Amino acid sequence: MEGIEKSFPGVRALEAVELELERGEVLALVGENGAGKSTLIKVLAGAHRPDAGRVLIDGEPADLVSPSRAREAGIGVIHQELNLVPFLTVTENIFLGCEIARAGVIDRSSERERARALFDKIGLPIDPDALCHTLSIAERQAVEIAKALATDARILVMDEPTASLTPREVEKLFAIIRDLKGQGIGIIYISHRLDEVRAIADRVMVLRDGGHVGTHAMDDVTQATLIEMMVGRSLDQEFPPAERPKGAVRLEVRDLRRGDKVRGVSFTVHAGEILGITGLVGAGRTETARMIAGADPADGGTIHLDGKRLPIDGPRSAIRAGICLLTEDRAGQGLVLGHTVVENFGLPNLSRFSRRRVLSPARERAAFSRYERDLKIKARSPDQPASTLSGGNQQKVVLAKWLERDCEVIIIDEPTRGVDVGARYDFYVLINKLADAGKAIVMISSELPEILGMADRILVMGDGRVNGEITDVANATQEQIMELAIPS
């Protein structure tokens, strides 16, 4: 990619960006949210026409005027936000637009066999006939990977492919990537997890504010230097220090049950405490959070806030009681993507911005502007659709709407999925401030360093149950957590 430039109304997204990808290598593309990574990939994928510059494949100019032309040129993209049709089957999603047919009739049997072979290669047992809306986030991510592999791409772009995968599943993905490298496929790997970048990439390219900061061999750059290139400043540590007294019990969950997903889960969260919950995909973490927040009904069990039993019969009653949930699927469940940024911010707070049931847009905008400044939300305008924000900025909007609601129990499911290094640190500081203010924080995360770096206490779940609790977090290890997640 030579001299790529792209502007949108009010913002210059890319400025003379150069990218070179060799056969059989992994090029990591890193940068903060809003740095231009997604725009650059959309140019390569045929979704955006560049204002200037050109793309060459095997030395020949490629006119990528549409996504279909990009696929024909051998470019496959796994997007950060999942791009599946919910009510089609796994197989139908994988082969959508590239169906296997004989005599003009789709050969479902051959497609099913091919889908099973792809999942065997990925190492995840997913039913090819399952409807995609019934799958977990991690399973849907695996379908996206299979969908890209099914096109026999020569250039494969992976945008945050491990965002919802466990360490074991990440290793399986890395094995697939190494196999693809051996076949001569060039891979552009976008991730905010710098430990992953160092483990899998041959070279790393850094974007900042739409410009190309530099490209280096992975072995030639330290992590501290890489972070400084990305954020334009040095970060002394990954997790902010925090010491605070633990208060009285605020949230108490007793024997919560729902089918075979959640089997008798009980725990407490104190005022001023960050309770970390982790475990493998399918452990029941998200299902537990959704029941506490009223998103799913429980078969049994009770929820108490400040000693008072709460009759949680839906999200509205949970919100009124002071419980909020930042979902792991922010695009599908945390935002209304077609609405504006400020409208999304205002949704759970309409009563605060209304007088006599009439909304005051001025009050709504004034409140949002404070969070826009404090959370460093990068938006061209409060009136732009939420769908046009980067993943990290979408997460900030979700957080802003719940902060304005001033909930007492804040459940955060995968808080930094798709969020860059600099913004992650800002998130961590903010979470600590909320705990300092006496909020009860439940942080669900697949990232073990994040859990160990932020939690005051850790619950490890597996097969719908709490397998163990770690109270001495300062001396805990990732191996200790995994032993509890996979008991012998």
- Over residues 9-30, mean pLDDT: 91
Q: What is the pLDDT of residue 399?
A: 87
Do 197 and 85 fall within a single domain? Answer: yes
Cα-to-chain-centroid distance, residue 392? 8
Q: What is the pLDDT of residue 332?
A: 81
- The answer as to whether 42 is a domain residue is yes
Question: What are the C-alpha distances in Å from 445 to residues 286, 343, 459?
Answer: 10, 28, 11
354-391 pLDDT, tens per residue? 988 899 999 999 999 998 988 888 888 999 999 988 77
**Residue 232 scores a pLDDT above 90:** no
Cα-to-chain-centroid distance, residue 458? 21
Q: What are phi and psi of 44, to 5 degrees?
A: -65, -35
- Over residues 70-87, mean pLDDT: 86
Closest to 78 (Cα-Cα) out of 2, 20, 165: 165
- The answer as to whether 225 is a domain residue is yes
- Over residues 389-409, mean pLDDT: 87
**Residue 314 scores a pLDDT above 60:** yes
Number of domains comprising the chain? 2
Do 163 and 312 fall within a single domain? Answer: no
- CA 453/CA 224 separation, integer angstroms: 18
> What is the average pLDDT score of the chain?
89
Q: What is the pLDDT of residue 368?
A: 95
Domain boundary (198, 231, 264) is at 231
Question: What are the C-alpha distances in Å from 125 to residues 91, 128, 220, 261?
Answer: 13, 9, 38, 18
452-487 pLDDT, tens per residue? 999 999 999 998 999 999 999 999 998 899 889 876
- CA 441/CA 177 separation, integer angstroms: 36
What is the CB neighbour count within 10 angstroms for residue 265? 25
CATH number of the domain where residue 6 is located: 3.40.50.300
Do 145 and 172 fall within a single domain? Answer: yes
Q: What is the pLDDT of residue 236?
A: 59
Q: What is the pLDDT of residue 235?
A: 59
**Residue 418 scores a pLDDT above 70:** no
Q: What is the pLDDT of residue 224?
A: 81
Range of the domain at 442: 249-485
Give the three-class secondary structure for 137: helix
The b-or-e profile of 393-424 (16+ CB within 10 A means b, else e) is bbbbbbbbbbbbeebbbbbbbbbbbbbbbbbb
Virtual torsion, Cα 60, 61, 64, 68, nearest 10 deg: -20
Q: What is the pLDDT of residue 487?
A: 66
Do 165 and 127 fall within a single domain? Answer: yes
Do 255 and 117 fall within a single domain? Answer: no
Q: What is the pLDDT of residue 265?
A: 96
- CA 251/CA 266 separation, integer angstroms: 11
Beta strand 308-309 pairing with 300-305: antiparallel
Question: Taking the alpha carbons of 434, 459, 426, 327 in that order, is the dihedral positive or negative?
Answer: negative
111-162 pLDDT, tens per residue? 999 999 988 877 678 999 999 999 877 788 788 888 888 877 899 999 888 7
Contact 324, 405 (CB under 8 A): yes
